Amino acid sequence: MRSVIAGVGSALPKRRVTNDELAETVDTSDSWIVERTGIRSRYIAGEGETTATLARDAALSALEQAGLVPTDIGLIVLATATPDQTFPSSATKVQAMLGIDDCVAFDVHAVCTGFLYALTVADSMLRSGTAKRALVIGAETFSRLLDWEDRATCVLFGDGAGALVLEAKESEDGILATRLHADGRHNDLLFVDGGPSTTGTVGKLRMKGREVFRHAVINLAEVLSEVLAAAGLTPADVDWVVPHQANARILDATSRKLGLPREKVIVTVDKHANTSAASVPLAFDTAIRDGRIKRGDIVILEAMGGGFTWGAAALKY
């Protein structure tokens, strides 16, 4: 019994913001941003657009591709660090928006690695018989956590959502292996300086970029090797790697460390920037819809985020 991918989908806010437009209000430039990150644009949520509405739209897109209706879903796991409310979970809001009267629904919070955590949890629950079909969603409105006067961080992030429909069935396709990690000793390298039980405010994102970069390259290379071994694969078996879209230089360094050809790495950071938990499913959906990733391909998903958390999944699409 495996969790097979029945459909994928994504959603973006209406407003696209280029580097040049950002430079009108932030002390930066297109050349400065592109040279350091590879980012050329991002999408920013506007009035009426929230984490839950983006998640709903991505879910509907995935359901349409799967040929299913919302009431076919028995489990919703939504990865986000930017929920609509402190509680209840944004997953229950999505459930209500989709018109599902009763199903298991909850949020997972592991920042940029959130989607890998959500995927692993949903896979385990499907294989244990908790549900037959699941929506696994990564959705963020990170723009609402940014300090727009800090040019080192505000240029890096964007908003969006991506979703997968998983179905439990006997198959050679589906999720082959997952591996997750966390190390809370590095909290002060990437965090938000607020919260209900400390400051009573939402807070703003803070990051020590150079240190995060160093940890990311080491941790991602190790977990990719780990998940390949768990799935009985070698780098030569991999058709595509879909990484967390944090920074083009991290993507290049990780692929070099593993000896993976650059052309096998899906890159969307130039169009979407870092969308945290949404970045992996958003990039996955983009590559499926443009024809790069095809049925039967071996795909590796990987991410690292604040915490630190990091993880990877191997699957046969």
Q: What is the set of active-site residues?
A: 112, 244, 274
Q: Given the structure tokens 């995060």, which residue do they identify?
A: 212
Contacts of 248 by beta carbon, 8 Å cutoff, 6+ apart: 37, 38, 39, 267, 269, 270
Instruction: With CA atoms as reference, report the closest residue to 284 among 307, 305, 309, 301.
Output: 301
Instruction: With CA atoms as reference, report the closest residue to 272 among 197, 177, 188, 162.
Output: 162
| Amino acid (one-letter) located at 224 | L
Contacts of 68 by beta carbon, 8 Å cutoff, 6+ apart: 6, 7, 133, 165
Helix runs in 44-202, H state only: 51-66, 90-98, 114-127, 151-154
- The alpha-carbon radius of gyration of the chain (Å, integer) is 18
Torsion of CA 190, 88, 278, 127, to 10 degrees: 110
Contacts of 5 by beta carbon, 8 Å cutoff, 6+ apart: 164, 165, 166, 173, 174, 315, 317
Distance CA 54, CA 4 (A): 23
Instruction: With CA atoms as reference, report the closest residue to 175 among 210, 227, 216.
Output: 227
Distance CA 223, CA 54 (A): 29
Distance CA 88, CA 66 (A): 28
Question: How large is the angle between the packed helices 51-66 and 90-98, nearest 10 degrees?
Answer: 50
